[in-house]
Amino acid sequence: MAAIAPLTGIKIIDLTKLAPGPHCTMILGDLGADIIKVEEPGAPTGRRAEQAGATGKVGRVVGFGSVPTNALARNKKSIGLNLKSEPGKEIYFKLARNADVVVEEFRPGVAKRLGIDYETLAARNPRLVYCAVTGFGQTGPFKNYVGHDLNYIATSGALSMIGRKDQPPSIPLNLLADYAGGGMHAAIGVLAALLARHQTGRGQYVDIAMLDGTMLLIAQALSTYFTTEKIPTRGYTSMDGAAPYYNLYETRDGKIITIGSVEPWFYANLCRALGCEQYITDQNNHAKWTEMLEHFAAIFKTRTRDEWFDYLSQSDICVGKMLTLDELEHDPQIRARNMIVEVETPTGEKVKQVGVSVKLSDTPGSIRSLAPKLGQHTEEVLGGLGYSKADIDRWRADGAIR
């Protein structure tokens, strides 16, 4: 008997567009949830037109649209629905009446102005879990401010700690606030609310702020500050590039090897492997760190990255190759963990996808379908709600659906 996924039977309405929301629903979809992605039909207008530019399309580019390789849109069905139209709202309310979860990332107040907010939906479906993902949250003086990942990690304090000594902070892509602080925390919030519903019988509102999530990521650093009242300085601590035993080094072939030998026994193994036994007692001697960094750097230049990895990994040393994206699918560990997989499209083409990260022994997740085209499942979904073909054709002609 085939194993079922943990979220089989959970119905989710996905109103999200950009990174954090789609990342949240991708995680839930991988775990078996049935996701209906509600997208705006018709040609873009207003701000959507500005975003679309000369192509006349919005959100249909790699990372945001129906490109089969776009992992954020996998395991989802797409319907085109104009939520400002009366038919659009009627359809949406009917969907929400039978849904378990709604995920949106509107600015605070927008859902209420549209008449599709939590209070309106909960009156029709008290078991509904409603998750809103925003930058600064639904409360506080910044709640209506616009922003992106960089703004949130700056406000959280995280950005102040990322970077090299005597250099400006380094921008860590949009990984911290969008994906970890936003998307992953939203998925955790939804799962927690679903578990609570199992106990109380009621849904609830899940308020996810990317600022809050990013602050939780630096909980240990904040705890240290609250204890010592010392503000960390970039590039001067053991974890941000100052220590020779926790650093990256260029190798003979111009690639990068990373060393993370923090514990004294791993550090001693490193010194022995590099022929630097004289430094074994100097692990915490900050006065020696610059000398050691230079000495280690010179040694690492004598072999290639892969030669160093093969040698050091056999000596109980914390070592890792810095892989570029084109190398990932050839790495034996990534292959063994099925973190890059090939999925077949309906036309028989095979496309590569990042794999499912959560490994469950009895109820594993899976990639069941690739990114849909806008409105690909409109007729299927509306037919399932009991609407006739005449209704669907009329509403499509009116621009209420696609």
Rounded CA-CA distance 64/208 in Å is 21
Cross-strand bridge partners of residue 78: 37
Q: Is 178 known to be catalytic?
A: yes
Cα–chain-centroid distance for residue 8?
Answer: 22
Rounded CA-CA distance 166/233 in Å is 9
The DSSP code for 304 is -
Pairing mode of beta strands 205-209, 246-250? unpaired
First to last CA, the chain: 38
Q: How far is CA 115 from CA 82, 253, 398, in A?
A: 13, 60, 21
- The dihedrals phi and psi of 382, each to the nearest 5 degrees, come to -65, -35
Helix, strand or coil for residue 23? helix
Cross-strand bridge partners of residue 395: none
Annotated active-site residue in 14, 100, 117, 178: 178
The DSSP code for 182 is I
Helix, strand or coil for residue 14? strand
Contacts of 68 (CB under 8 A, 6+ apart): 343, 345, 349, 351, 370, 371
Pairing mode of beta strands 101-104, 11-14? parallel
Rounded CA-CA distance 262/237 in Å is 12
> Which residues are known catalytic residues?
148, 178
